[in-house]
Structure 1
Amino acid sequence: MDNRSNLTEYVHTIVQTFLQAGVEDVVISPGSRSTPLAYAFSQTDSFNTYMQVDERSAGFFALGMAKAKQSPVLLLCTSGTAAANYFPSIVEANYARIPLIVLTADRPHELREVGAPQAIDQVQLYGNHVKWSVDFPLADGYKETIPFVERHTGRAVTFAMAAPMGPVHINIPFREPLLLDFDYEIQPSTYQQSIPGSIVASQPSINLVEDMIRNTNRGFIIIGELSGDFSKQDFWAFAKSIQWPILADALSQLRTEVPAECEHLLIDQYDALLKSENFKKAVDPNLVIRFGAQPVSKPLSLFLKASKPANYIVIDEDPLFRDSLGVVTHHIHSIPQVFWNSNLHGQPNETLDIWTHANKLATEHIERYIDEQQDEGAFAGKLFNLLPDGSDLISGSSMPIRDVDTFFNKTAKDIGIYANRGTNGIDGVVSTAFGIQQVRKRPATLLIGDISFLHDSNGLLVSRFHETDLTIVVMNNDGGGIFSYLPQSTEETYFEKLFGTPTGLTFDSIATMYQAEYFAVASKVEFEHALTTHKHKDLRIIEVKTNRTENVLAHRHLWSGITEELDQLWSN
């Protein structure tokens, strides 16, 4: 075959193998060196192709899609710094366990490290932040090249999906000319799909957990963000059988669609409750079981670190289980679902009534706060109450996710809740939200701060290429609001310059640029009007002007009120 035929067979082998392995989505950032693969994906009707010209935003867009799908999404870019711009999303995917497959086009070997334009060292570019990396051979017509490419493309999918899921990297060199033979008869891949198995706990491990639950009367369950699909029905059957307090992080997806008979078990105000010293003494556990990641709540982390339960079991599919506190006593290498199929009936939990009563009191404080206050927390609470059944919420990091943790109360509504908590960064959040909405195909709302919104304003570009149904609520407190809660805020001389970082910007012009529907609101009445007005465009931006100092004072007043009441109730 001639060079064009070799190249055409080569790239279509890659594309067809991905199809055979069940991959169906690719996010492409335009560039010259990646032309052959871009053509091959576009020529294949079974592939969904998405365009985003900014590579950093493209990475997070693909990450949002993969997060929502819980299956691999491809990223394709040209050579050089384009590949480097994927790095932030790859780091997030690694720590959040998201199956991204990154395809970086590269210069041929003779143009590497010789001063050729748009050429950097891309071999193992992402280091330990990917699960696996491979540098492909050129499309040289050698008889073993196609089988090699076919097998390793399939392996990339298996690596990405094997527990714990995560990103992989394929570096693909192309020699000019880069054009394909569009009359080439595309052949299906001979690759037979490799299906990753689940990591299942051994029977002795299951027996250990069951025995501990049966022999303990002071304990609780923590549910953080979980990897992969799981059955809420199975979890709540497990919860009903053991009758323990369930401390559910908002990202666990268990604060929504809560069965009525399990409402008393679900503790959603633990962040506020665990600011009370007397309450902490009243519920001091001797057994804690955690499924999923460590929750957002800092008071919960401080409580666990101080109490050091005699038995703290983490059930995690990664042998490098998450234990930032250094207090885990047992790690069971397994998917969580194995433990939800047991019909357990342990001792009555003597702290359940304490947790339930305290949670009810804190919820009453939260509801009054949402009705009476005008700060970011009250706006966030109003937003959560107005979210329609069958929609999704995406949260930014820093203050938005903490307000989700505090003000998103358990509900029977079907609402998905998402955030980038692998590394807790504020970058790429807009793009992640677009990616999630693209997959979920239902209305979505992004709650984000002004600095984070500015970080990924290029993410709005995707709305020019693809339909969406996204409302972006920007809490504009003119700077980094989270820092006002930290000790740095006491050093007034340098605080605004180094941490507050006020920009003085508003976002009406950005909304105009992207032809988005725009509202600027200053009261909860205006906010409710903006949220409930019929949406006339795919993209809506609601800017809420708030004050950082007032936010801190209002939040602390709320927490002190809850703490004071709890301290009085459990003073003995």
Structure 2
Amino acid sequence: MVNKKSLTNYVRRMTSALMNAGVKSVVISPGSRSTPLAYAFASTKSLNVYMQVDERSAGFFALGLAKASGEPVVLLCTSGTAASNYFPAVTEAHYARIPLIVITADRPHELREVGAPQAIDQIQLYGNHVKYSVDLPLAEDNTDVDDFIVRHVQRAASVALTAPYGPIHLNVPFREPLLIDFEMDIPTSTFIQRMKGNDLLDTSIIHFVNDILNKTEKGLLVIGELPIGINTKLFWNFAKALNWPVLCDPLSNLRAKVPTNCMDLCIDNYDALLKSNRFKEKAIPDTVIRLGAQPVSKPLSLFLKNVRPNTVVLIDESPEFRDPLGIVTHHIQSSIEAFLQIDVQKEDSAYVKTWVQANDEASVVLENSSGSDEGAYTQMLLSNLPDKSDLISGSSMPIRDVDTFFDKTEKDITIFANRGTNGIDGVVSTALGIQAARQRPSWLLIGDLSFLHDVNGLIVSRFHETDLTIVIMNNDGGGIFSYLPQAESGNHFERLFGTPTGLTFEHIAAMYDAQYSSIESIEEFEQELAQDKKKNIRIIEVFTNRKENVIAHRTLWNEITKRIDSIE
């Protein structure tokens, strides 16, 4: 049996160490074995504590908080399979480089592997999907253990916050009784501060980059998903001086708040442009510089993989640099901000004009397009997003439509998606977490199957206020599969890939007291977007047809191809 004073001292020290490492928010899944830490967190006034009773949804809610804030977020659960349900979010956090601090309460050592209830092997539970994992000691009246706890928690948090960011796992055993002393103050710690040095590029790297730039006549700057809070002013100063076409993935968040003098360089229609064989011949680059993750666009990926530019420079802070196409020739391991401080200067070129002119022509086609397919609905949603708002996109067809239809803008709009592993699970919870972190009006664009995967995520709206509008593209199944070759065969396609459920969501909206509307036409959608949001959760269910969506998308792409192919 552990005494209350020792247990309280233990969890208070852990709480203090986490806060000292920068933790401001904690997501708790209720359970018995985690009681001491849950009480310690809940009774700490300077912490934001969120509750979510479904562990899988809790994991993605915490991921959304951390993704949007750029700060470490604690995720706490009891022992047993509760911890297993965090695995999908931990996996996404690993590949998306998000600093989650996962704390799993555990049985004491004498109750492990003896058939005790709610006990599983939690040691190294998340394997290589976390950057750091430790099984902490039990609470006891021992100053050496006190110091060990503080320094180990700080060390673990430092690992989570060292580039590349990622999740870490603390497994914490507790003996009963599990109650703590609420009146006890947070103990003082001998550990005071962690300091992080600034990244600076040495002169050899700067000379190398300038040498490449001097030799390059046709250069592309490709920008994938970037961490939140990137210095956009620094970026656009660099891009303007470099004077190369900038292919901005929507998740780079560089299509928003674009400076007026950089609008031409921001290429937002490259996905459509690179469906034209004639344009691709003109667009072959000598050099590509990529910042961030590989962009969403499949045409861009296929283009770069096929032409294999002579020089592909990747800026990635991790030694495990991301190169899914296998074309990177040079990896500069540094922060993006350090690279952007290189002094560059390039003159205007015919190659830049080729990209800018084609991009402008594609914009004309998109601006004059009409229809009632999912692309048209997405285009209308994006054009009506208010300034200072956020959009969270589903990972399948929604993010591809966002890539196609999100025009560069001077408005302050931030776009998020779970592209670490591109899963369709946990998207609702991630969106709710992002809204909680950002405290801005948020919109979620999601398909019906992805929404079904995380209906439980809405539970969090019963515990915390939110401001989320959910636009569900209900095409009764997996719409993205209709664009793949297996859709042409017809054999078992609907059963294996289309997977129609016949479900609609008005009853889900009623269950969660959400504002609801059913949309059958583009005119109804336009009218609905003009209506005021009256409740915490608003669900707009848009009914579309998968086959018609495919025809409409391909017709639009063909129109863009014809227009840019006519350019002399």
Counterpart pick for 1:536 among 534, 545, 568 = 534
Q: Return closer, same or farther for 1:239/1:185 CA change in 2, 3 Å cut-off.
A: closer
Which residue of 1 is the match for residue 394 of structure 2?
396
Any conservation in 2 of the 1:163–1:199 contact (CA below 8 Å)? no
Structure 1 residues 200 and 316: alpha-carbon distance in aligned structure 2, compared to 1, 3 A threshold: farther
Which digits, 9 at most, give the CA deviation of each residue in 1:473-515, with x for residues without a partner?
Answer: 0000000000000112122121100110000000000000000
The 5-angstrom pairing of residues 238-387 of structure 1 reads 238-369=238-369, 372-387=370-385
Instruction: Tell me the equivalent position of 1:162.
Output: 162
Query: Is 1:428 the counterpart of 2:461 in the alignment?
Result: no
- State the AA in 1 paired with 2:113: E
Rounded Cα–Cα distance in structure 1 between residues aligned with 2:512 and 2:189:
41
Contact persistence 2:2–2:139 (CA under 8 A)? no
Report the residue type matching 1:436 in the other structure.
I
Q: What are the residue-to-residue correspondences of 1:142-221 with 2, within 5 Å?
A: 142-221=142-221
- Give the Cα–Cα distance (whole angstroms) in 2 for the partners of residues 365 and 66 of structure 1: 38
Once the two structures are TM-superposed, the CA of residue 378 in structure 1 deviates from its matched residue by 0.3
Task: Measure how far apart 1:214 and its partner are.
Answer: 2.4
Map Cα deviations across residues 524-547 of structure 1 (whole Å, 9 max, x no partner): 221122222111111100000000
Listed as ranges, the gaps of 5+ residues in structure 2 are none
1:167-198 per-position Cα deviation (integer Å, ceiling 9, x unaligned): 00000000111111223233243322323445
Aligned to 1:83: 83
In structure 2, the partner of 1:224 is 224
Could you tell me how far 1:235 is from its partner in structure 2?
Answer: 0.8
Indicate if the aligned counterparts of 2:199 and 2:338 stay in contact, CA closer than 8 A.
no
The SS at the match of 2:392 is strand
Q: Once the 2 structures are TM-superposed, how far is the Cα of residue 224 of structure 1 from its aligned partner?
A: 0.7
Q: Indicate the SS of the match to 1:493.
A: coil
Alignment correspondent of 1:19:
19
1:109 aligns to what?
A: 109
Give matches, 1:13-92, under 5 Å.
13-92=13-92
Give the structure 2 partner of residue 492 of structure 1.
490
2:417 to 404, 416, 419: 419
For 1:195 and 1:165, the matched residues in 2 are separated by 16
* Counterpart mapping for 1:127-146 below 5 A: 127-146=127-146
Match of 1:527 among 525, 542, 553: 525
Query: Is the CA contact (8 Å cut-off) linking 1:158 and 1:196 kept in structure 2?
Result: no
Aligned length: 568
Q: Is the 8 A contact 2:64 2:432 kept in 1?
A: yes
Shift of 1:567: 3.0
Taking the aligned partners of 1:324 and 1:137, their CA distance within structure 2 comes to 40
Other structure's SS at 2:26 match? strand
How far is the alpha carbon of 1:2 from its aligned partner?
6.3
The offset of 1:199, in angstroms, is 4.5
CA contact (8 A) 1:199 1:317 kept: no
> CA, structure 1 residues 282+45, in 2 after alignment: closer, same or farther (shift >3 Å)?
same
Superposition CA RMSD, Å = 1.3
Distance 1:526 1:36 in 2: 52
**C-alpha distance after superposition, 1:440-466 (max 9, x if no partner):** 111000000000000000000010000
Aligned residue identity for 2:207: N
- Measured in 2, the distance between the counterparts of 1:282 and 1:331 equals 27
C-alpha separation in 1, matches of 2:526 and 2:146: 58
Deviates more, 1:225-234 or 1:255-264: 225-234
Is 1:513 aligned with 2:519? no
Among candidates 461, 464, 467, match of residue 463 of structure 1? 461
The 2-side partners of 1:113 and 1:45 are apart by 38
SS across alignment from 2:492 = helix
Secondary structure of residue in 1 paired with 2:189: coil
Assess, with a 3 A threshold, how the Cα gap between structure 1 residues 234 and 67 changes in structure 2: closer, same or farther: same
Task: Name the counterpart of 2:471.
Answer: 473
**3-state SS in 2 of match to 1:314:** strand
Q: Match of 1:451?
A: 449
Native 8 Å contact 1:158 1:195 kept in 2:
no
Structure 1 Cα separation of the partners of residues 384 and 525 of structure 2: 10
What's the offset of the Cα at 1:13? 0.6
Counterpart residue identity of residue 138, structure 1: L
Looking at structure 2, the residues matched to 403 and 196 of structure 1 have their Cα atoms a distance apart, in angstroms, of 39
1:106–1:173 Cα contact (<8 Å) kept: yes
The change in CA–CA distance for 1:483 and 1:198 in structure 2 (over 3 A counts) is farther
Q: Which moved more, 1:290-299 or 1:331-340?
A: 331-340
Specify the code of the residue in structure 1 equivalent to 2:403: D
| Cα distance change on mapping 1:2 and 1:510 into 2, 3 Å | closer
Tell me, which stretches of 5 or more residues in structure 1 are unaligned? none
The Cα shift of 1:569 comes to: 2.9
Query: 1:287, CA displacement in angstroms?
Result: 0.5
Asked if 1 retains the 8 angstrom alpha-carbon contact of 2:445 and 2:470, the reply is: yes
| CA displacement at 1:200 relative to structure 2 | 3.9
Q: Give a deviation string over 1:68-112, Cα, whole Å, max 9, x none.
A: 111100000000000000000000000000000000000100111
How far residue 347 of structure 1 moved from its aligned partner, in angstroms, is 4.4
The one-letter amino acid of 1:137's match is P
Q: d(CA) in 2 for partners of 1:143 and 1:509?
A: 56
Which sits farther off after the overlay, 6-15 or 190-199?
Answer: 190-199
Deviations 1:315-355 (A, max 9, x none): 10011111111111100001111222233212433311110
> Would the aligned equivalents of 1:217 and 1:347 in 2 still touch at CA under 8 Å?
no
Distance in 1 (CA, whole Å) between partners of 2:11 and 2:314 is 43
SS state of the match for residue 50, structure 1? Answer: strand
Distance in 2 separating the partners of 1:422 and 1:439: 19
Distance 2:265 2:143 in 1: 62
Letter in 1 for 2:554: R
